[in-house]
């Protein structure tokens, strides 16, 4: 019976021993010494210290133990609580609370635990007032910084619609608006259907136009164009009609292997939707990785106003280098040859392509039979770029000939 009674008194005995230990520590001046340590260690820091000074003070080895000791004493010892309520001491502890804890020394955690111990001891109002004051100061500093940034850009913050305490709207001054508009450079010429920019904002990047190209027999040079009825009753190879492949029997018969590559050329139509070669390539890559992947020209059809496309005819812009344009030209011819092989010098194939396109206008033929889009206006805009590519090939060939002549004359 006596043993049971002694076991029941053990917790109360430990509690009384703990309380006595706290009294002894307080009487020995440990709380006062701990507070003095904090004030001396962070005296310069309270005046506005640099990051290096803070780091030096936080590296003191006794700091974690001092914070833990003060936290233990502040839980139950009223004298320690009154000692820590001094503004300088509270300010130092609160500053330490905001310091992020490192893996080796949890300074911020111990400082926060000390303030929470004071809150639990009936000093919640004092601790909360200190924290709220700091938050308000930080918020004001952030708003002032925001206003300075806006002012440097000719803008200001004004009251918003009142739907929240932080509701604000940014007002741009007339002078800033005029300056921004003045700095904007107007795009002159073609713009990309994806990014909306042209050579002014993306200089050096090759633009091109979506086209639909098709392999057809070489047109005859001696027979004028005829109507669809007469073309439907004649073999396109034997008749040799220049009547246009789209919207005629020639377009619907299909070539298969009936026409030799040396007797074929390509004809091209367009809805004239321009795009950067890079934008097209990036869009095609993105569409292949969709949940329901799209093929390259399936996605291009959507960007081309739902007009079929199977090639990208490049433009040689003022800021585009010859090497970049030449690489895009090679891609175009690879795309054209994928529709059917045509063996002839490229300038000659382009000349036939131009002739077939002009015959469409002369014979008032439709342009959208196979491409399902594009008309007279969009296709007349294609002519200069076919001529440009032909000139590029002729100039390249002429340069080789000029180099040969110079070597023979040297």
pLDDT digits (tens, 9 = 90+) for 85-106: 888 888 888 888 877 555 446 7
Could you tell me the two tokens for 163?
């739907």
Could you tell me the two tokens for 382?
């294609």
Residue with tokens 């008309």: 375
Task: Read off the pTM.
Answer: 0.52
Q: Residue 381, class by beta-carbon neighbours within 10 Å (0-12 exposed, 13-18 middle, 19+ buried)?
A: middle
Q: Of the ranges 67-76, 153-162, 360-369, 370-379, which one carries the lowest mean pLDDT score?
A: 153-162
313-342 residues labelled b (16+ CB within 10 A) or e (exposed): bbbbbeebeeebbeebbebbbebbbebbeb
Q: Which range among 52-56, 143-147, 176-180, 278-282 has the greatest average pLDDT?
A: 278-282
Q: Which residues, including other chains, have CB under 8 Å from residue 393's CB and lie 6 or more apart? A: 345, 346, 347, 350
User: How much of the chain exceeds pLDDT 90, in percent?
Assistant: 32
Q: What is the DSSP letter of 185?
A: P
- Per residue in 161-177, pLDDT tens? 555 555 566 666 666 66
- Per residue in 4-37, pLDDT tens? 444 455 556 666 777 778 778 777 888 888 888 8
The answer to whether the CB of 94 falls within 8 A of the CB of 128 is no
**Mean pLDDT, residues 108-117 taken together:** 84
Pick the more confident residue, 75 or 355. Answer: 355
Query: What pLDDT does residue 408 have?
Result: 72
**Confidence band for 301, pLDDT divided at 50, 70 and 90:** very high
* CA distances, 33 to each of 27, 39, 69, 72, 95 (Å): 11, 10, 11, 14, 19
Q: Are strands 207-217 and 168-172 parallel, antiparallel or unpaired?
A: unpaired
Q: Which residues, including other chains, have CB under 8 Å from residue 263's CB and lie 6 or more apart? A: 217, 218, 237
């Amino acid at each position: 019976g006596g043993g049971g009674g002694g076991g029941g008194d053990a917790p109360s005995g430990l509690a009384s021993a703990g309380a006595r230990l706290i009294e002894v520590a307080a009487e020995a001046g440990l709380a006062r010494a701990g507070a003095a340590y904090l004030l001396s260690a962070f005296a310069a820091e309270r005046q506005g210290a640099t990051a290096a000074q803070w780091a030096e003070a936080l590296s003191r080895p006794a700091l974690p133990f001092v914070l833990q000791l003060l936290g233990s004493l502040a839980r139950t010892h009223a004298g320690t609580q009154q000692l820590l309520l001094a503004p300088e001491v509270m300010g130092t502890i609160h500053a330490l609370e905001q310091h992020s804890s490192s893996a080796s020394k949890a300074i911020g955690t111990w400082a926060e635990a000390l303030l929470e111990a004071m809150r639990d001891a009936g000093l919640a109002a004092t601790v909360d007032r200190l924290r709220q004051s700091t938050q308000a100061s930080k918020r004001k500093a952030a708003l002032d910084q925001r206003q300075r940034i806006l002012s440097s850009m000719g803008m200001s913050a004004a009251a918003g619609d009142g739907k929240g305490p932080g509701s604000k709207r940014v007002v741009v001054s007339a002078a800033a608006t005029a300056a921004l508009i003045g700095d904007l450079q107007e795009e002159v010429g073609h713009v990309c259907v994806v990014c909306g920019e042209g050579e002014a904002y993306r200089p050096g990047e090759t633009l091109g136009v979506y086209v639909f190209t098709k392999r057809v027999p070489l047109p005859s040079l001696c027979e004028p164009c005829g109507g669809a009825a007469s073309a439907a009753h004649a073999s396109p190879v034997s008749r040799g009609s220049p009547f246009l492949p789209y919207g005629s029997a020639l377009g619907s018969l299909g070539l298969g292997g009936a026409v030799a590559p040396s007797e074929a050329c390509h004809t091209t139509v367009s809805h004239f939707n321009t795009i950067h070669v890079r934008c097209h390539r990036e869009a095609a890559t993105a569409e292949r990785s969709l949940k329901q992947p799209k093929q390259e020209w399936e996605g291009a059809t959507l960007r081309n106003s739902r007009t079929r496309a199977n090639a990208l005819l490049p433009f040689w812009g003022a800021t585009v280098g010859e090497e970049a344009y030449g690489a895009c030209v090679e891609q175009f011819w690879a795309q054209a040859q994928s529709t059917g092989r045509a063996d002839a010098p490229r300038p000659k194939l382009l000349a036939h392509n131009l002739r077939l396109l002009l015959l469409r206008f002369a014979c008032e033929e439709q342009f959208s039979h196979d491409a399902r889009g594009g008309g007279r206006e969009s296709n007349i805009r294609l002519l200069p770029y076919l001529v440009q590519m032909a000139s590029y090939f002729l100039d390249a060939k002429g340069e080789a000939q000029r180099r040969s002549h110079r070597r023979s004359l040297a």
